[in-house]
């Protein structure tokens, strides 16, 4: 059960831990900005699902073409994820994250010029290349600023941007498609890409001046605060692995973690890129109504991510919580086909699935960040993200193929349920030794 204290804790930092005032100061300086950056990243990634409602008919694309284009993003993303994260460490977080954001904003806006399937595939691939390294880079960046007992909460704050983007992108995209129909001879879906791509470029420029490259060079911390932070982080890292690259990539733990993350990605990306179509299939045709309904599962996910992260931070029981959450997701996906005829019931079970799936994501990152530090952490995080995102290519394409073949989404929902159960099995196989060693090293 989630207690009253957990609810309060979801929105405040712990009050008993060492360095609370320091970590609160750091959180207020970094997290709102990183949250906004990830929010616009997710909007640029998700908006193609709403552009699809118009562009397929106008450009003559099939469902399979859309599914392949949605998924091909992840080929570029996976290929350049590890190199990008290593370059972040070389050039500095502020410079590299700024480069990433400016690149993906320009490419996302450039999607408005797509006219052929080949152009669609190329632009989606380039968008994946541009965005590669942002997420694992930020997760690694947070390890330089927060101890483990704060990181789950900070990661949850950062990753809640995914759910908030899901809430925002539907109504905003629906309103753009509804209102800007052939304004100045430009189609609504073209306006959608342009309007939602520009903020990334602006934020990328701001990043160069706002984001500190490291605690040592942070102007908002005084000398005593920098020494305190260094001391707290050093104490936590005693006994935590800074293994050579070869040993990190050969470790069974890293491969199992990649498999778990891949299970999350299989259902997440299949759902994200097809949610508007799922709602439209239930009989809702107005783009604005589709956008508003699509916000419901995301709103549930947003609250769940905060509450569950607070619960895990207090109890440090990561693996059992992840197993239960994956089970909840499986139940929601499996129940979806039987209630597809009813919009309210469909929203209910999809919200259950998203509760389980989205609440898992920030909690999951407790597992690798407790086991590695330094370059080993950067490599492990990038490798898990990269390999775990491979299903991001296959999932939208498979869903498109299923829908083209059956004209229904039932089998896709059962597929999502199956991979959620597979995540439970992989979590059961995962050893707690590394997490326990890390916890004992800081006196927990």
Helix, strand or coil, per DSSP, at residue 286: coil
C-beta of residue 121 within 8 angstroms of C-beta of residue 73: no
Domain identity same for 66 and 140: yes
Task: Give CA–CA dist 357/246, Å, rounded.
Answer: 31
- Burial class of residue 87 in the structure, from the number of CB atoms within 10 Å of its CB (0-12 exposed, 13-18 middle, 19+ buried): middle
Q: Please report whether residue 20 resides in a domain.
A: no
Q: Give the H/E segment covering residue 438.
A: helix 433-441
Task: Give CA–CA dist 50/292, Å, rounded.
Answer: 12
> Looking at residue 370, what is its pLDDT?
65
Q: Please report whether residue 19 resides in a domain.
A: no
Please report, for residues 161, 264, 444, the alpha-carbon distance to residue 254 in angstroms, rounded to integers and kept in the order given: 26, 15, 24
- Half-sphere exposure of 102 toward its Cβ, with a 13 Å CA cutoff? 11
Task: Give CA–CA dist 443/147, Å, rounded.
Answer: 13
Domain identity same for 200 and 278: no
pTM of the model: 0.71
- Chosen domain end from 185, 202, 234: 234
> Looking at residue 439, what is its pLDDT?
40
Sign of CA dihedral 207, 47, 278, 280: positive
Would you state the structure tokens that stand for residue 118, as one six-digit string?
């080949």
Q: Please report whether residue 12 resides in a domain.
A: no
> Looking at residue 3, what is its pLDDT?
46
Domain identity same for 137 and 250: no
Q: Please report whether residue 10 resides in a domain.
A: no
Q: Does 309 or 257 have the greater pLDDT score?
A: 257
> Looking at residue 437, what is its pLDDT?
40
pLDDT tens per residue across span 1-33: 444 444 344 444 444 445 788 888 999 999 999
Q: Give the H/E segment covering residue 84.
A: helix 63-91
- What are the start-end ranges of the E strands in 189-304? none
- Chosen domain end from 208, 234, 260: 234
Number of domains in the chain: 2
Domain identity same for 204 and 305: no
pLDDT tens per residue across span 190-248: 888 888 889 999 999 999 889 888 888 888 888 888 888 888 877 765 554 455 556 66
Domain hosting residue 396, numbered range = 243-435
Q: Give the H/E segment covering residue 57.
A: helix 20-59
Domain identity same for 227 and 300: no
Domain identity same for 101 and 76: yes
pLDDT tens per residue across span 60-69: 888 788 878 8
C-beta of residue 318 within 8 angstroms of C-beta of residue 435: yes
């Amino acid at each position: 059960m989630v207690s009253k204290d957990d609810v309060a804790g979801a929105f405040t930092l712990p009050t008993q831990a060492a360095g609370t005032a320091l970590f609160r100061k750091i959180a207020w300086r970094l997290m709102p900005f990183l949250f906004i950056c990830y929010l616009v990243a997710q909007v640029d990634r998700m908006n193609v699902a709403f552009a699809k409602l118009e562009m397929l008919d106008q450009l003559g694309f099939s469902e399979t073409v859309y599914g392949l284009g949605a998924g091909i993003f992840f080929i570029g993303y996976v290929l350049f994820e590890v190199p990008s994260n290593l370059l972040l460490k070389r050039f500095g977080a502020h410079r590299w994250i700024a480069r990433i954001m400016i690149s993906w904003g320009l490419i996302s806006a450039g999607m408005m010029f797509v006219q052929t399937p080949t152009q669609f595939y190329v632009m989606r691939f380039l968008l994946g290349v541009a965005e590669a390294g942002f997420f694992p880079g930020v997760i690694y960046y947070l390890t330089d600023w927060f101890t483990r007992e704060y990181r789950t909460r900070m990661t949850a704050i950062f990753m809640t941007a995914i759910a908030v983007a899901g809430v925002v992108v539907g109504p905003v995209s629906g309103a753009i498609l509804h209102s800007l129909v052939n304004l100045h001879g430009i189609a609504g879906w073209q306006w959608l890409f342009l309007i939602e791509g520009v903020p990334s470029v602006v934020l990328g420029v701001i990043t160069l001046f706002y984001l500190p490259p490291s605690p040592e060079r942070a102007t908002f911390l005084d000398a005593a605060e920098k020494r305190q932070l260094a001391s707290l982080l050093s104490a936590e890292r005693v006994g935590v692995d800074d293994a050579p690259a070869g040993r990190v990539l050969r470790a069974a733990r890293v491969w199992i973690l990649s498999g778990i993350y891949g299970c999350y990605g299989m259902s997440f990306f299949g759902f994200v890129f097809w949610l508007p179509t799922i709602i439209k299939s239930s009989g809702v045709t107005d783009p604005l109504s589709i956008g508003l309904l699509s916000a419901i599962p995301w709103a549930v996910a947003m609250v769940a991510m905060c509450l569950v992260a607070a619960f895990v931070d207090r109890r440090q029981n990561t693996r059992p919580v992840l197993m239960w959450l994956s089970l909840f997701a499986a139940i929601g996906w499996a129940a979806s086909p039987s209630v597809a005829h009813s919009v309210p019931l469909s929203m209910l079970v999809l919200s259950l699935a998203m509760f389980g799936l989205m609440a898992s994501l920030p909690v999951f990152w407790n597992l690798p960040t407790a086991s590695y530090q330094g370059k080993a952490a950067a490599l492990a995080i990038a490798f898990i993200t990269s390999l775990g995102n491979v299903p991001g290519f296959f999932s939208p394409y498979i869903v498109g193929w299923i829908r083209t073949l059956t004209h229904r989404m039932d089998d896709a929902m059962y597929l999502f349920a199956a991979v959620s159960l597979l995540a439970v099995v992989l979590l059961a196989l995962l050893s707690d030794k590394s997490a326990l060693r890390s916890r004992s090293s800081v006196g927990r």
